Structure 1
């Protein structure tokens, strides 16, 4: 496209290429005219010797002008309109003079003007194209009029010149209309190419970032393409097209069965390379080679997501229930305290004690559940474990009426943790209570070990007891709500501790389970806010 900004003219790359080809054509024509005039003057038998010299001089000037036009078009990408207009003007002038020297339109050189105007119509603008056609028409009519003044008036010659003039306008306008259509189609094709490239990049990025594996299979069972997730779960080599059976025989059998039956059923397979259980789904494509898409989902991840949704729903439900039962529970507890003041015998006292103990247990469960509602309201600060842990341990042991040497502190390294202070007290209280409940309650039965982690600014805090540890069948359930191995436990302590650690960007895990249990907090000593 041609546009003007601040008086500076700009041609598109396509227009510049067309202008260069146009000038190259003119250069070739000028070279042929010069060569014929120099070496084969007999090629123009209508010319006299004097006219042959004029033809040679004119061809020489034309060759020099076309050479200059070619250099300008290739070396200087500015003033394109001026370059095109100058080229057309030179062509009209030279061809008109050649027609005059050659004896008029009978020389056959008038057709050269038609080619020039066609080329200018493909490159130039609409108004300029009409100007070029008018310029050629006036030059031809002026030449014929000048010839008529010197010789007898030839009416047939004027009619011939008029037909040529009409042809000038027809060729110029037709070439311009064709050029506009070509330019529009080229712009549309270019835009569609850009859109297609953008869509390809987006689709490629989406496929690469997908959590599910995507594999493109040929009908012979060879892997054609796959995304990074599929390479990870199947152990594929992206540099070659291997048979799927080499990586997962079960998936290959499922693919053969799908090709035979065309069923939409999901196939459950085991992958030896990664040890994962996958759910595979096959889908045909409309490609020319009838490739097949295979979507791979990690069953472990799906189960984990389902478990998280289940726990979240359970947490919301229990929180709502806790709000509803707290008031009547307080009333029952208060009534029990009033009844204790009456003395009605041992049976009455025993039943009343059972009621109050269970009321306090329910109150503890309600308090733990409501504590979960405050997990997202965190204010993380840098807690100095050397100053905080001794006070917390002393307070807890005093409340439980235990000896001061039951819990032993081992502090080293930075011993500082980014955590919400109230959350830290809650987490440590739960972990200490769990450790003391399962320990032998002797000197050093529970150890609190704070040390630097393996990564920079990483801190580890271990709560270790000397109990029997956690059985293998209980490890995966230890952090689930309401799971407990103690008859007096609520099953919420470890669950709440992990939830509060997650809210503070700290990992709580069962590091070791035998002998004794080792719960580890893995956090950071920097970046608190």
Structure 2
């Protein structure tokens, strides 16, 4: 459901020109109808209407000529062939000459036909929108005065009728000037409307770009529950591909969300609620924002990823915790070194079996604490990036050999499958640490058979993806929401920082690490290299 695109710069000029030609087409149609009316009324009603009373042949030939000239003018206007200004001038000039001849053939000013020039002058003023229309009024006045003078000299018409002719000439100028004012007002209104239209279109484009990049899902729904607009986050959160080229009913996207919308329509308060979407580990926050100014039009439905909000809150907490743990780790490391050194000295002295057990216990716990300190120190190094572009084909084979060698397992236990070129832009050290954590966990929990752990990479639509999966017993469902929390572990000997640090390093490099359960019951972790990672 895309937003309207912004108007091009030439839209205003093109639309104004089209409106001028359309107005001229209506004027040409009026002239053709007027000529047809003259021909139709000439013989049946000529006596009653005094048409052609002074000179019937002149009236007939002038009407016939005017009709055919108007017909040709209509065809030319449809084709938009000559210059607009010259075409309008020729049409108004023909009207002035023909109407003056028709009025002279029907009795002059007393026939009333000279009033028809008011229509032509008004049309010219509205269409041309220039002061040249006053020239047309002057020409019409001259034509009427000449026609009246001819009637006085040749037919003995009373000179007193010049007063009526003078008033008609004043009316010509008054109507022309009024048409110019109306045309000027219409032009200003059109320019204002066009300006507002461009502003609204640009605002709509800005809103579209803003909504498209929002991490929260946005659905614009009308009063009938039809989705008018949406963004990619809504498709991701609802786990359905929304086709922007067609309209979707809210019931088709999510029946549960449609029910919440119907309930909110009947009782608009509260506007905040939650929605459980199958496949999502946590419920979605739903907000309904009514769109109404003059009656209810619809609503904007905002889908909030509560997991992301929780992660942000956790990030703030961990930022403060990271500063604290960094200082604690620095203080703990020195005593650990002293304890380790002292234990090594004790091992060199004469010792009994019980002392050996105590020394081994000290050394194992020192190693565990030292490992935890190293993990904590890594938290403060996530922003020290040294990104470089490389292909995973050149990095992974040697790295997998290094990972499996300390375990003592056969190399066939870890299966490497790479499809095509896999370009990424990543910190090599960070990638190695991430894969050490993921593959190390998979090797410890798999069945330790050939192919038990699979490291697979592929590239689709320019996005490289790397997946580590195993055939173990999987992760308990109750532990899934806490997988990436710091210090959460299901092993007694684990620190609970491996997965958390791996995800932090992925995000620092613009990638995303997520857990995906497998159909066989094992665990699968996927690294999606998106956006800036492809060069």
- Of structures 1 and 2, the one with the larger relative CO (CA 8 A, separation 6+) is 2
**Structure 2: gaps (5+ residues):** 1-13
| 1:224–1:73 distance in 2 versus 1, CA, 3 Å | closer
**Mean alpha-carbon deviation: is it higher for 140-149 or for 207-216?**
207-216
Alignment match of 1:42 (pick from 43, 47, 52): 47
Partner of 1:484: 489
Q: Give the Cα separation in 2 of the matches to 1:528 and 1:203.
A: 28
Matches within 5 A, 1:437-448: none
**How far apart, in 2, do the equivalents of 1:245 and 1:338 lie?**
63
| Aligned counterpart, 1:92 | 96
> Structure 1 residue 62 and structure 2 residue 66: aligned?
yes
Q: Which residue of 2 aligns with 1:33?
A: 38
Q: Is the 8 A contact 1:214 1:294 kept in 2?
A: yes
8 Å contact 1:278–1:296 — kept in the other structure? no
Q: 1:31 to 1:274 in 2, by over 3 A?
A: same
CA contact (8 A) 2:227 2:248 kept: no
Provide the residue aligned with 1:306 in structure 2.
309
C-alpha displacement at 1:224, in angstroms?
Answer: 6.0
Partner of 1:379: 388
Distance in 1 of aligned mates of 2:477 and 2:37? 96
C-alpha offsets along residues 230-273 of structure 1, whole Å, 9 cap, x if unaligned?
A: 999599997779899985798489548x63xx643744566799
Q: Report whether the alignment pairs 1:393 with 2:404.
A: yes
User: In 2 relative to 1, CA 469–10 (structure 1 residues): closer, same or farther, beyond 3 Å?
Assistant: closer
Match of 2:165 in 1: 161
Does the Cα contact within 8 Å between 2:512 and 2:528 map onto a contact in 1?
A: yes
- Contact 2:417 / 2:456 at 8 angstroms: preserved in 1? yes
TM-score (structure 2 length as normaliser): 0.70
Q: Are the counterparts in 2 of residues 247 and 272 from structure 1 also a CA contact under 8 Å?
A: no
Q: Is the 8 A contact 2:35 2:67 kept in 1?
A: yes
Distance 2:196 2:364 in 1: 76
8 Å CA contact 2:415–2:451 kept in 1: the answer is no
Mapped partners of 2:150, 2:270: distance in 1: 88
> Paired residue for 1:108, among 101, 108, 112?
112
Correspondence 1:52 to 2:56: yes
Kept after mapping to 1: 8 A contact 2:414/2:453: yes
1:112-131 mapped onto 2 (5 Å cutoff): 112-131=116-135
Q: Structure 1, residues 66-91: CA drift from partner, whole Å, max 9, x if none? A: 23222222233432222222222222
The aligned counterpart of 2:501 is: 496
Match of 1:368 among 375, 379, 383: 375
* Worse-superposed segment, 331-340 or 363-372: 331-340
The yes-or-no answer on 1:79 pairing with 2:83 is yes
- Check whether the contact 1:99–1:109 (CA below 8 A) recurs between aligned residues: yes
Which whole-Å CA distance do the structure 1 matches of 2:171 and 2:22 have between them?
26
Superposed CA offset, 1:341-400 (max 9, x none): 698999999999887765654443232123244445243532454444334433x35xxx
Tell me how far 1:504 sits from its aligned partner.
7.7
* C-alpha RMSD over aligned residues: 5.3
Q: Which residue of 2 aligns with 1:6?
A: none
- Give the equivalent residue in structure 2 for 1:3: none
Measure, in 2, the Cα distance between the counterparts of 1:274 and 1:519: 16
Normalising by structure 1, we get a TM-score of 0.71
Matches within 5 A, 1:29-428: 29-37=34-42, 42-43=47-48, 51-147=55-151, 156-189=160-193, 192=196, 211-212=216-217, 214=219, 223=225, 229=234, 251=260, 255=264, 259=267, 263-264=269-270, 266-268=272-274, 277=283, 279-281=285-287, 286=292, 290=296, 293=299, 295=301, 297=303, 301-302=305-306, 304-333=307-336, 335-336=338-339, 360-375=367-382, 377=385, 378-379=387-388, 381=390, 382=392, 383=394, 385-394=396-405, 396=406, 404-405=408-409, 409-411=413-415, 413-414=417-418, 420-428=427-435
